[in-house]
Chain A
Amino acid sequence: VPRVKAGTTRRARHKAVLATTKGHRAARSSRYRVAKESMLHALDYATRHRKLKKRQNRALAITRINAAAREHGLSYSSLINGLKKAEITLDRKSLADLSIRQPSAFAKVVASAKAEL
């Protein structure tokens, strides 16, 4: 194979990696060899945490619904049981939002659940 110089391709490859590491600390955003590792970790974390975000948000909503339900004398488990029996299909995100921003509406939802228990 005849000799092939890198030419301009190496600079282009490196620039592409450095473009993804904008905002990384110290050499991780300026030196290619360190930036490449930083980029690989960042992409890995991003992929993993896109899935984790959904889990964490659901857990937070459940904690909030638990707190709000206990203000009305019910536990989270009893509330969900009552809602299933009342065929109310509000998801945990909506329930948590109601409990913070529309507590009067949440109180009515709890009352419907209590009626079925």
Chain B
Amino acid sequence: MASKLSHSIGTHTRLWYLIDARHQVVGRLASMVALLLQGKNKPIYHPSVDTGDHVVVINTGHAVLTGSKWDKKLYRHHTGYPGGLKEIVAKQLHQKNPTMILRRAVNGMLPKNLQRKHRMRRLHLYPDSAHSHALNITHQLPGPCPVFKTLSDYSSEEITSFPDIVTRISHL
């Protein structure tokens, strides 16, 4: 018998997701965030109802653009006046406001309808780890890109006990 007994208080509420953007590629992260803002990860999704959640992204200042996009990717807008095409390179836009690149990416990935404005209002971007939503966060999600460990993430014992491959190979 079909029932809603399996639904909990969390089924129909707006959840708050926390995502760390450090070492995450902007486009891939934006794609994941756009899906969360739309609520397309929920089986109760319906296009007429905004089933989206809040998403808090921290460390947007440390997000990654691959290739030479920092120097070559242009963000353009036209002011409406003749000759008013304004272009700014990703690096300069990032210096001006470190959340803008991710905000524009997510904005472009949401469906262009009346719900887009409301969904963007549920996106909270912070350039560093400080954010003011600690009481609201329900889940922390890993980003879409795997985060690799750098040399400083290994302890000194692990570094010294790592098998010595280089000198062994030079033996042969």
Q: Which residues of A contact B (CB under 8 A)?
A: 60, 63-68, 70-71, 96-97, 99-104
Residues of A close to B44: CB separation below 8 A: 64, 100
Interface residues in B, total, Cβ within 8 A: 12
Residues of A close to B45: CB separation below 8 A: 60, 63-64, 67
Stretch in B35-43, B54-62, B97-105, B143-151 with 4+ CB within 8 Å of A = B35-43
Pair count A-B, CB < 8 A: 34
Q: Which residues of B contact A (CB under 8 A)?
A: 2-4, 6, 40-47
| Partner of B41 from A60, A70, A100, A101 at Cβ < 8 Å | A70
Residues of A close to B47: CB separation below 8 A: 60
Known: A97-B2, A102-B2, A103-B6. Is A60-B43 also a contact (CB below 8 A)?
no
How far does the alpha carbon of A66 sit from the alpha carbon of B45 in the complex, in Å? 11
| Nearest neighbor of A96 in chain B, beta-carbon distance | B43
Task: Judge whether A63 and B40 touch: CB under 8 Å.
Answer: yes
Task: Judge whether B46 and A101 touch: CB under 8 Å.
Answer: no
How far does the alpha carbon of A103 sit from the alpha carbon of B43 in the complex, in Å? 10
How far does the alpha carbon of A103 sit from the alpha carbon of B6 in the complex, in Å? 7
| Partner of A64 from B2, B3, B4, B43 at Cβ < 8 Å | B43
| Nearest neighbor of A100 in chain B, beta-carbon distance | B43
| Nearest neighbor of B42 in chain A, beta-carbon distance | A67
Task: Judge whether B46 and A60 touch: CB under 8 Å.
Answer: yes
